[in-house]
Structure 1
Amino acid sequence: MSNRILQGASTGGSSSNDAAASAAFNARRQSTISQAYTQSEYSESEFGEQDNGWDDWEDEEGMAACDPQCLFCAQTFPSAREVFDHCTHTHGFDFLRARQQFDLDFYQSIRLINYLRQQAQEVENFAETTCWEGLKDGEEAFLADDEYLRPVLEDDSLLFAFEDLDLEEGTADEAMLMMTPQGEVPKRRMTRSSWEDVVPTTDLERLLLKQVQQAEEKLFAMEVQHHNLEQQFQEYRARVKESFFDTLEDATARSVVSQSGRSRAGGEGEKEKREKEMDRVRTEGYRDYIYENKDIFKGKTVLDVGCGTGILSMFAAKAGAARVLSVDNSDIIEKARKNIVENGFQDVITLFRGKIEEIKLPCKVDIIISEWMGYFLLYEAMLDSVLVARDRFLVPGGILAPSQTRILLTTTSDESFLDDSIHYWNDVYGFRMSTMKENVLREAVVDFVSPETIVTNTVTIKDLPHQSITVAGLDFVSEFDLEMQRDDHVSAFVGYFDTWFTRDGKDVPLEVGISKEELKEHQMNGFTTGPVYTRSEETHWKQTMFVLEKAIVLKKGDHIKGTFYCNKNHMNPRALDLRVVYEVVRVEKTEEERPEDKADLTFFLR
């Protein structure tokens, strides 16, 4: 997945090499930044000149450095040196020797680490490698592929540790080559020629001289490294404050609506409040359905797939379920167990740890509840597992909650996404870097869209009735026809999903929407993840943007007709490969051909 906040941090440099250096230097923080900081979480004072203690970030939850992990398997070690020794002796690949042998620079080394990380995730039995020979001449394509400048493994300490090992083993000549961006190095205490004037006369003097020389060389190398890192960090901090935080403020401005009381957040604890607000729509959606339909749950057997903390299971138990079977395959189930005992539901709720595809349950169930949805509904979603649970354990006529979801497509005129994601590379400190657009263009952007920027109607591109849909049916191809509602331009397609809970589990007719009035009329519950006017209605799923390289200027009544393709990635079924093929049909015909009026675009969510 590409979150635009994450892009702001990782692409804010002045070149692809700067971006890589920033990614390596900040590897432990990158994923946490994207998860922990949303658009409306800062006051201006938080980024003032007084905020010089960036080292405080190390104390934040989850920021502590993790033990480095093997490049081939899941084993971890206390130090990077031990990791590389393990790789050499167990997997037959000496990283440090290969780096020296093929004269790999810093960025090629980063690519090599991330390439091996990706192989470990995608290649079957890669952890059992005993002699890796994937690096033969130092000219391999992946060593030049900027895709591998992005960290594959969260908190990957190897990305900033291997340079230290090289410096410890390097010579003074190598240290002398470590120039700062301005071409300056710290002044050396004693030059190499000065040592040539010292002539030892005994074995002891020769030994002492050698030790002094080695200590001097090492100290100088460390001084150079410290000087370079300090200057790089200051430059990186300045770039972050210019691009990353400005991006947050821009996003906040878009996310903030004109109503009073919806201002940018700022106080201590606002992040937690914000996250709770975005979870509120989801959690209360389930709670309201269960509590408002207690007659459905009373005396029934309920299955909670992916129970997490157990909140949905406890809702069901409190609503009168006779038995609740709660399944999860992660350590959090132990927390759920304590939560359930603390609230006195241990006689109703039984927990099972394991995969729903493999686990054995004592009986069939009347109702399945699960919070399985991901970004764009299907990214990293658990729906496959829920459908397996349906086929294995749900009684005929049983209910799935939610009962139905629907993926919708519309467009936005908000060109700031285009500016931040694409146009940025047209002028990076006075240089054009068009080649950097290639991967950015393919990344779907997860962020909030202001409803005022929606310029076409909204159409359904995938309807998912949970009672009958199959796993194979989750890949889809859908035609769409979007009509401009006013004279404006289109800078991105926008995708999101709606969710319904029904009393009988039956399909929701396509003409039924998600408004409160319609839900009440049809005795259903539900919520939307689309653009909304109040923060209290926002969800953590946000919206998914498919940004165009060039905005399309259109008139009211013009149409964008096309086909939307959605497929699971063949290497990682939790990821999505997406494709949008479209053509503009204008009310006012013109013989002038416009390149942006027709396109075949590919995107991905990783």
Structure 2
Amino acid sequence: MSSRILQPGSTSNDGDAVFSARRQSIASQVYTQSEYSDSEIGEQDNRWDDWEAEDGMGAEDTKCLFCVEIFPSAREVFAHCTASHGFNFLQTRQRFNLDFYQSIRLINYLRKQALVVNGFDQISTWTLEGNESFLNDDEFLRPVLEDDSLLYAFEELEVEEDFSANDQDHHPPLDTTILMPQGDARKMGRSPYEDIETTTELEAKLLKQLRLVEERLFATKVQLQNTEMQFQEYRARVKESFFDTLEDATARSIVSQTRQENGDEDRDPTAVMVAGDEGNYYFNSYAHSDIHQQMLNDRVRTEGYRDYIYENKDIFKGKTVLDVGCGTGILSMFAARAGAAKVLSVDNSDIIDKARKNIEENGFQEVITLYRGKIEEIKLPCKVDIIISEWMGYFLLYEAMLDSVLIARDRFLAPGGILAPSQTRILFTASSDESFLNDHYHYWNDVYGFKMSTMKEGVLQEAVVDFVSPETIVTNTVTIKDLPHQTITVVDLDFISDFELEMQRDDQICAFVGYFDTWFSRDGKVVPLDVGITKDELKRHDLNGFTTGPVITTAEETHWKQTMFVLQSPIELKKGDKIKGTFFCIKNINNPRALDLRIKYEIQRLDSVAEDHRHCRPEDKAELAFYLR
């Protein structure tokens, strides 16, 4: 791997919309001097069976958009808003053709107004013009109320669902031309009631009601078909977003050589199908010896795993261990030597052939069984007690291998089992190091006497993987994502986090810096935020672990280095000045192994006259986009 990752990109807001659709709240967890409390995004265990409440609205009471009244369902909230506040949300959404995100913004905007505008609860008429700026302001994608059921219930309701047969004289019948998702039109066939001649007013009224019911039944059938088709689309998109979208569609997991020879090729019903990886470029990149030598030479990494396993042999003795992405088999052999009764080693790269020979050469073939295939699809003979895996990428989440480890956890980990490592934490700080800015950005100002400014384009959108000297760190360090592996879900790996950095001395900021810490625990319990990664703290809390942050000696450096988000111009700041902002991290929509990252911040400078009073200049606000490809 090269030490710098170069990736072109754009500053399109499309990623914001995709991200916001996945997340409904923010995570803000600070490592040391944080003022924030844990507010992890969404539920930790969002399963399909959590959506079984009727209309998705029956789980808990819902507050009115304008006043403090509470109602048992979203339907009743919207009916109340229409009757008491003169605002019909469903008709307004249809009238202005508001999409999902605009509807979310509208709900949150009204929630915000109800909190800050005096007398807002007394409004008896409220209308929308359709061109309001907040409809396109991503600030209003962030929920105002925690667990606001309206944010997922409004799509279940139709504008006309509350019309009764008695309203037929005031509302026209449903249009019998229905548009399907593909753009096709379906027309309701001829009704058998059309030729009936009525002789009395009562017969005419009953016939009209019958026609209305018939039209509604037809519309309901078509809507059901639409919903089924949309659900299939949704499932396809989930697979595309969360798994390996570029994998060869013809590639299939191969169960171990022994199981194939026995003819046991029945598919595991718990297997998770994933989309293909065209060319298998990801797995092929791990087929060669050089990349494994680079990782094995990372002593912090390799000895961190070895020490945890050897210092806790009582945990491994007699247990069944699963090694996800086993590579050369080094972690599997550590586990076998520590006394594991059985080790199941899985990899989808050609390296597994060399791993098999390594294991035979060291005499562990009776303990370690190798399986070639993807963990999402492969069939294993039993549940396991421990899952070990070295899955971490640049900025922790690059390459998206944690997704596979979490799927392995859900498929194969026995109750009470543990993961190693058990927890990771993404940390965020700022550096005064301007070497990258000078060497790779300002370089183009004078190339043998020529200006080449156009070559600067896109350079600073490339997140830089390189070593940062600890002497250049000028702010405190905060946590922007805490990942307890026992409970976190795949959907939680896309995140938004607020942060607050404070200058520790008078200096400049040239780049934000991200890195991660890793913990191994004996029982899988969560490591509190106030527990650091120093050797003394690890020993005191009976933990193993290591950091990938800026360190003093080369012996402490890791192949992950640090990830730098370089600013176009240095910012001169004083001790006590603060940088407040929000960090966005999302898988790239076209390649889920890559990351799209965004930093939105403002500088709050200490007032030179009034102590502890801070002000923000217009030029001290920015929103920057970065990429890891």
Structure 1 position 456 matched with structure 2 position 475: yes
The separation in 2 between residues aligned to 1:514 and 1:543, in whole angstroms, is 16
**How far has the Cα of 1:349 moved from its partner?**
0.5
CA pair 483-448 structure 1, distance change in 2 beyond 3 A: same
2:366 corresponds in structure 1 to: 347
The separation in 2 between residues aligned to 1:274 and 1:449, in whole angstroms, is 23
CA pair 365-274 structure 1, distance change in 2 beyond 3 A: closer
Pick 1 or 2: higher relative contact order, CA cutoff 8 A, min separation 6.
2
The letter of the residue matching 1:555 is K
The letter of the residue matching 2:524 is G
Structure 1 position 427 matched with structure 2 position 442: no
The separation in 2 between residues aligned to 1:303 and 1:546, in whole angstroms, is 36
2:550 corresponds in structure 1 to: 531
The separation in 2 between residues aligned to 1:578 and 1:333, in whole angstroms, is 33
Count matched residues: 353
The separation in 2 between residues aligned to 1:126 and 1:317, in whole angstroms, is 35
2:623 corresponds in structure 1 to: 600
The separation in 2 between residues aligned to 1:489 and 1:478, in whole angstroms, is 24
2:312 corresponds in structure 1 to: 293
Matched-pair contact (CA < 8 Å) for 1:551–1:596: no
The separation in 1 between residues aligned to 2:502 and 2:317, in whole angstroms, is 47
Question: What SS does the aligned partner of 1:289 have?
Answer: helix
**How far has the Cα of 1:519 moved from its partner?**
0.3
**How far has the Cα of 1:425 moved from its partner?**
2.2
CA pair 388-514 structure 1, distance change in 2 beyond 3 A: same
**How far has the Cα of 1:597 moved from its partner?**
1.7
Aligned counterpart for 2:416 among listed residues 397, 412, 418: 397
After superposition, what is the alpha-carbon deviation per residue over 1:11-48, rounded to whole angstroms, capped at 9, x for unaligned? xxxxxxxxxxxxxxxxxxxxxxxxxxxxxxxxxxxxxx
Percent identity of equivalent pairs: 78
Matched-pair contact (CA < 8 Å) for 1:546–1:603: yes
CA pair 362-276 structure 1, distance change in 2 beyond 3 A: closer
Aligned counterpart for 1:476 among listed residues 474, 495, 520: 495
**How far has the Cα of 1:312 moved from its partner?**
0.2
The letter of the residue matching 2:574 is K
1:407 corresponds in structure 2 to: 426
CA pair 501-596 structure 1, distance change in 2 beyond 3 A: farther
The separation in 2 between residues aligned to 1:363 and 1:275, in whole angstroms, is 33
The letter of the residue matching 2:326 is C
Moved over 6 A (4+): 121-127, 271-274, 590-593
TM-score in terms of structure 1 length: 0.55
For 1:28-47, list aligned pairs within 5 A.
Answer: none
1:360 corresponds in structure 2 to: 379
The separation in 1 between residues aligned to 2:454 and 2:527, in whole angstroms, is 46
CA pair 462-125 structure 1, distance change in 2 beyond 3 A: closer
Question: What SS does the aligned partner of 2:457 have?
Answer: helix
Matched-pair contact (CA < 8 Å) for 1:399–1:504: yes
Structure 1 position 506 matched with structure 2 position 529: no
Matched-pair contact (CA < 8 Å) for 1:550–1:596: no
CA pair 393-276 structure 1, distance change in 2 beyond 3 A: closer
**How far has the Cα of 1:592 moved from its partner?**
10
CA pair 516-329 structure 1, distance change in 2 beyond 3 A: same
After superposition, what is the alpha-carbon deviation per residue over 1:259-288, rounded to whole angstroms, capped at 9, x for unaligned? xxxxxxxxxxxx999957851110100000
The letter of the residue matching 1:404 is Q
Structure 1 position 566 matched with structure 2 position 554: no
The separation in 2 between residues aligned to 1:334 and 1:478, in whole angstroms, is 42
Aligned counterpart for 2:349 among listed residues 330, 354, 362: 330
Aligned counterpart for 2:393 among listed residues 339, 362, 374: 374
Gaps of 5+ in 1: 11-120, 128-152, 155-270
The letter of the residue matching 1:514 is I
Question: What SS does the aligned partner of 2:458 have?
Answer: helix
1:580 corresponds in structure 2 to: 599
Matched-pair contact (CA < 8 Å) for 2:598–2:625: yes
**How far has the Cα of 1:3 moved from its partner?**
4.1
Q: Which has the higher helix share?
A: 1
Question: What SS does the aligned partner of 1:586 have?
Answer: strand
The separation in 1 between residues aligned to 2:246 and 2:335, in whole angstroms, is 41
Question: What SS does the aligned partner of 1:551 have?
Answer: strand
The separation in 2 between residues aligned to 1:123 and 1:605, in whole angstroms, is 17
2:569 corresponds in structure 1 to: 550
1:302 corresponds in structure 2 to: 321
After superposition, what is the alpha-carbon deviation per residue over 1:461-485, rounded to whole angstroms, capped at 9, x for unaligned? 0000000000000000000000000
Gaps of 5+ in 2: 9-243, 251-280, 283-289
Matched-pair contact (CA < 8 Å) for 1:2–1:444: no
Aligned counterpart for 1:491 among listed residues 504, 510, 520: 510
2:464 corresponds in structure 1 to: 445
The separation in 2 between residues aligned to 1:362 and 1:123, in whole angstroms, is 28
The letter of the residue matching 2:467 is F
Task: Provide the aligned C-alpha RMSD in A.
Answer: 2.9
TM-score in terms of structure 2 length: 0.53
1:54 corresponds in structure 2 to: none
